[in-house]
Chains A and B, each alone.
Chain A
Amino acid sequence: MKLLYYPGCTVKRNAIEYEKSSLAVLEKIGVNALELDKWYCCGALYSLAIDDLMKHLGAVRTLIYAQKKSREENTRDLLTICPMCFNVLKRVNKMLREEPEKLETISSFMDEEEPYKFNINVVHIIEVLNKKIDELKKNIIRNTGDTGVSVYYGCTVLRPKEIGIDNPEDPSIIENLLRKLGVKVVDNPYKSMCCGAYHILDKPELVYNNSKTIVEEAYKRGAKVIVTICPLCLYNLRKTIETFDKKVDVKIIYLTELLAYMLGLDHVLDKELIDFFNTVFIHDTKINNSMRREA
């Protein structure tokens, strides 16, 4: 399986461990992610005003460049790991397809580019992992025992529902994936409630309020680990835990870090994180062996 890969600003700067673990997991299960050698800022948030076409330009240029590359590389899928990049690219892609007059206006602005022919398919890493579940299962060398793991989706991979990767009212794609890999999943009704996102910069008390609800609920239900797929959600939840008077014994990590650990890809994980995993997950070698035999 071959995909074009759009990284975006944050995974190159603040979420290096997310990119590292994601690419290593994909490589392990036979997915070849080809990073674009040229890309443009997606703008982080999709512009909602009808006449605000200017703000879509970065995403449109990225889609056109991916289109050029898609012919060389013979794949139409554009992989994103950042959920905000996923959201913007997929919505812009949809808008161009459904509103030809807007595409025409945008195209006339950048006539040096080739016309966009709607042949790029924007995908998020969860969708890829979900498709390759058998490969993942085959390669697992560590299990996570009875330790509770809770999932936090955030907003942008789910809403608006037209572009979401799962039912936004009750998403379960990540939980199902983890369950199939033998992880004990702890449900959290707040798994798709907004953590407060960019208000961490100007209204942090709002973020602490919302993120507290999310973390406390997971913790109350017995989760020791919360996995997420968004660098900003991860930052907000961790920052919120720091503000608690009473320390809670729960760690926020990326989903792909957990998968990298289960696949034995220790070279992409911090030593500190491996030590944490080794402590929090009680291993039963018998289960490990039987799982290997099944594979």
Chain B
Amino acid sequence: MSNELYRKIVEISGRNPYLCYQCGTCTAVCPVSVFMDVKPHQIIRYIQLKRIDLEKLKSIWTCLACMACVDRCPRHVDPGIIFEAVRNLVLRRGEDAVDYFKLKDLDKVPTMALIALSRKMTG
């Protein structure tokens, strides 16, 4: 199962997780890593080990694709792009990550936020 997930992650991200040497730059520059239980470099490590438990990797939904780690990854593993691939694995099963009834101030927040959120959290 994890082999198949690994193959798909590589295929739709176009990145090679094995190039990562765990320097931790991604976690250091991530503006939201304090809100993640499993940190960006740890997610990459789980993927390298093919221990891909999608339930455990919930912190991919906290990533905003701000590109801070992608711009600075010295090995072009580009965690932010790999996380998008992992998000897609979940979304393509038809499991959305957003409950529209629970969103706050939907009437006041700029439209772009709703579109961006829908893009990331629904398939």
* Chain A residues within 8 Å of B, Cβ to Cβ: 8-10, 13-15, 41, 43-52, 55, 82, 84, 155, 159-161, 168, 193-194, 196-204, 206, 209-210, 231-232, 235
A-side interface mostly: loop
Once A10-B110, A50-B13 are accepted as A-B contacts, the answer to whether A198 and B120 lie under 8 Å apart by CB is: yes
Q: Is the CB of B116 within 8 A of A160?
A: no
Q: Is the CB of A168 within 8 A of B71?
A: yes
Once A14-B110, A235-B109 are accepted as A-B contacts, the answer to whether A45 and B68 lie under 8 Å apart by CB is: no
Contacting A160 at CB < 8 Å: which of B70, B84, B108, B117? Answer: B70
Q: Is the CB of A202 within 8 A of B117?
A: yes
Q: Is the CB of A55 within 8 A of B115?
A: no
Once A50-B11, A155-B67, A160-B70 are accepted as A-B contacts, the answer to whether A201 and B115 lie under 8 Å apart by CB is: no
Once A48-B80, A50-B12, A50-B14 are accepted as A-B contacts, the answer to whether A201 and B112 lie under 8 Å apart by CB is: no
Q: Which B74-94 residues have C-beta < 8 A from chain A? A: 80-81, 84-85, 88
| Closest B residue, CB atoms, query A193 | B31
Number of interchain pairs (Cβ within 8 Å):
128
| Closest B residue, CB atoms, query A14 | B110
- Interfacial chain A residues near B54, Cβ < 8 Å: none
| Closest B residue, CB atoms, query A233 | B110
**Chain A binder among B19-27, B38-46, B58-66:** B58-66
- Interfacial chain A residues near B110, Cβ < 8 Å: 10, 13-15, 231-232, 235
Q: Is the CB of A198 within 8 A of B106?
A: no
- Interfacial chain B residues near A10, Cβ < 8 Å: 110-112
Q: How many residues belonging to B are interface residues under a CB distance threshold of 8 Å?
A: 40
Kindly state whether residue B28 has any CB partner on chain A within 8 Å: no
CB distance from A267 to the nearest CB of B (A): 24
Q: Is the CB of B117 within 8 A of A201?
A: yes
Kindly state whether residue B32 has any CB partner on chain A within 8 Å: yes
- Interfacial chain B residues near A45, Cβ < 8 Å: 65, 115-116, 119-120
| Closest A residue, CB atoms, query B119 | A45
| Closest A residue, CB atoms, query B85 | A49
| Closest B residue, CB atoms, query A235 | B110
- Interfacial chain B residues near A8, Cβ < 8 Å: 112
B-side interface mostly: helix
Once A201-B105, A201-B114, A235-B109 are accepted as A-B contacts, the answer to whether A49 and B65 lie under 8 Å apart by CB is: no
- Interfacial chain A residues near B70, Cβ < 8 Å: 159-160
Nearest 6 CB-CB pairs, A to B? A159-B67, A48-B84, A44-B116, A44-B115, A14-B110, A198-B117
Q: Is the CB of A159 within 8 A of B32?
A: no
Looking at B71, B80, B109, which has the most chain A CB atoms within 10 Å of its CB? B109
| Closest B residue, CB atoms, query A159 | B67
Kindly state whether residue B98 has any CB partner on chain A within 8 Å: yes
CB distance from B16 to the nearest CB of A (A): 13
Q: Is the CB of A48 within 8 A of B31?
A: no
Once A44-B119, A49-B88, A159-B70 are accepted as A-B contacts, the answer to whether A203 and B62 lie under 8 Å apart by CB is: yes
Contacting A49 at CB < 8 Å: which of B12, B64, B113, B116? Answer: B12
Kindly state whether residue B102 has any CB partner on chain A within 8 Å: yes
Contacting A55 at CB < 8 Å: which of B65, B114, B119? Answer: B119
Please measure, in the bound complex, the distance between the C-alpha atom of A210 and the C-alpha atom of B68, giving whole angstroms.
14
| Closest B residue, CB atoms, query A162 | B71
| Closest B residue, CB atoms, query A206 | B35
Q: Is the CB of A159 within 8 A of B68?
A: yes
Kindly state whether residue B104 has any CB partner on chain A within 8 Å: yes
Q: Is the CB of A51 within 8 A of B66?
A: no
- Interfacial chain B residues near A49, Cβ < 8 Å: 12-13, 84-85, 88
